[in-house]
Amino acid sequence: MEFRPGIAFFLLLASLGSQAFPQFAARAATTERVVVNRYSGVAIEGFDPVAYFVDARPLVGRPEFEASDAGAVWRFRNEGNRASFVAHPDIYGPQFGGYDPIDLARGVTFAGNPRFWLISGQRLYLFGREDNRDTFAAAPAGFLRQAKLRWPALEEDLAQ
């Protein structure tokens, strides 16, 4: 194998950069237990999870209002939304980490789309398809029962 000084230099810079700026390295960490962009670590495509409750619609958050929770970076429209989420991530964060509860009830994980959403029982649910949202809205109790039964094992598989 041939030594390449250019490649070695860039590897050295990358190594030093992650040590010199640990706050940036931590932000790039991702999780599969929450729907995140695998390159940035930003949850639910950067949409503000609190906006679903206070504005009754999906709104994109801003990079200057970020918080980390559950291995993901969450973005918010303003400091008030950020503070609400930090105080109660279990209430404002999407249930099942943003995975579609219809698919979870079937035993598979499929990332929810922040544009297909529903608040049911004061909790936010994201769906992979619009028809899944409509099916869930018609009879949420049965799907939630199945999704809650299957979620622990599916979540464990996601952590692998």
Q: Is 21 exposed, middle or buried (0-12, 13-18, 19+ CB in 10 A)?
A: exposed
Distance CA 134, CA 66 (A): 31
String of DSSP letters for 94-132? PGGGGB-HHHHHHT---BPEEEEEEEETTEEEEESSHHH
In order along its 160 residues, the chain shows pLDDT tens digits of 455 555 444 444 444 443 443 333 333 333 578 899 989 999 999 999 999 999 999 999 999 999 999 889 999 999 999 999 999 999 999 999 999 999 999 999 999 999 999 999 999 999 999 999 999 999 999 999 999 999 999 988 886 5
Q: Report the predicted TM-score, pTM, of the whole model to 2 decimal places.
A: 0.79
